[in-house]
């Protein structure tokens, strides 16, 4: 049985660059990789896996939302790499988990841990339940030099926890921050009167990030 990995990191932590580096290493050794990507993320391109630092390659397969990929597409692979794995559905994660057992192929998933409300994504949650190895890809807080653990969303220059969680993507609207600055930015936005009935003002409890 091979291993299922979940390598998580905040926005801008070079997850995709790490994926591309691993693909590059395998291929330089004459091995084959299969690069997957959920269809949702069309941030930069529907079929490209693109790092902010400039490297990119084509995804071998873009997974449609309801699609459970058949195992035969991984039959020849020495390693399966998944970009934006937070957008995987439960059945997709379970299929990948099964590949490691049935095919003996390692599967390495790169993705965000939680959304801007500090809530796990569907794919992240199932990966945290099933992965053999949970590894962090680090980056620093946009406001200080501590490690970033949260993703802060900005709307019109103000921190916000409104809106759907699956809009994630555009670089100018999200920042990797530490928990202190996550709380401070959201508290400041609330104090500034940025309130909405179903959003920030009503729902942030003093002691937590619950919505």
- Number of Cβ atoms within 10 Å of the Cβ of 75: 12
Least separation, in Å, of the C-beta of 197 and a second copy?
22
Give the residue with the Cβ less far from a second copy, 100 or 160.
Answer: 100
* Minimum gap (Å) between residue 167 Cβ and a second copy: 19
Interacting residue with a second copy among 32, 58, 65, 90 (CB under 8 A): 90
Name which of 12 and 169 has its Cβ closer to a second copy.
Answer: 12
103 near a second copy (CB under 8 A)? no
- Non-local (6+) Cβ contacts of 6 within 8 A are 85, 109, 111, 124, 127, 128, 131, 133, 134, 135
Please tell me the distance from the alpha carbon of residue 99 to that of residue 108, in angstroms, as a whole number.
12
Catalytic site residue 27? no
Specify the 3-state DSSP secondary structure of 160. strand
- Maximal CA-CA distance, the chain: 58
Comparing C-alpha atoms, which of 18, 35, 154, 40 is closest to residue 88? 40
User: Do 88 and 38 form a contact (C-beta atoms < 8 A)?
Assistant: yes
Select which of 48, 84, 90, 135 is catalytic.
84
Does residue 54 belong to the site contacting a second copy (CB under 8 A)?
Answer: yes
Where on the chain is the footprint of a second copy (CB under 8 A)? 1-2, 4, 12-14, 17-18, 20-22, 24-26, 28-29, 31, 51-55, 68, 78-79, 90-91, 93-95, 97-98, 100-101, 106, 113-114, 118-120, 125, 128-132, 134, 136, 139-140, 142, 145-147, 149, 178-180, 183, 205-210
Catalytic machinery residues: 84
């Amino acid at each position: 049985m091979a291993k299922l990995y979940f390598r998580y990191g905040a926005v801008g932590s070079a997850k995709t660059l790490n994926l591309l580096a691993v693909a590059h290493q395998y291929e330089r050794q004459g091995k084959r990789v299969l690069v997957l990507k959920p269809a949702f993320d069309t941030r930069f391109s529907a079929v490209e896996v693109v790092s902010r630092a400039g490297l990119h390659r084509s995804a071998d397969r873009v997974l449609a939302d309801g699609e459970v990929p058949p195992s035969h597409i991984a039959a020849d692979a020495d390693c399966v790499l998944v970009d934006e794995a937070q957008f995987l559905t439960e059945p997709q994660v379970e299929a990948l988990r099964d590949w490691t057992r049935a095919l003996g192929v390692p599967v390495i998933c790169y993705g965000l841990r939680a959304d801007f409300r500090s809530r796990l994504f569907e794919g992240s949650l199932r990966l945290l339940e099933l992965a053999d190895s949970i590894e962090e890809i680090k980056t620093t807080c946009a406001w200080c030099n501590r490690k970033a653990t949260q993703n802060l969303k900005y709307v019109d220059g103000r921190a916000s926890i409104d809106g759907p969680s699956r809009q994630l993507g555009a670089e100018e609207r999200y920042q990797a921050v530490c928990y202190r600055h996550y709380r401070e930015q959201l508290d400041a936005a609330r104090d500034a009167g940025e309130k909405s009935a179903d959003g920030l003002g009503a729902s942030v409890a003093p002691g937590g990030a619950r919505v």
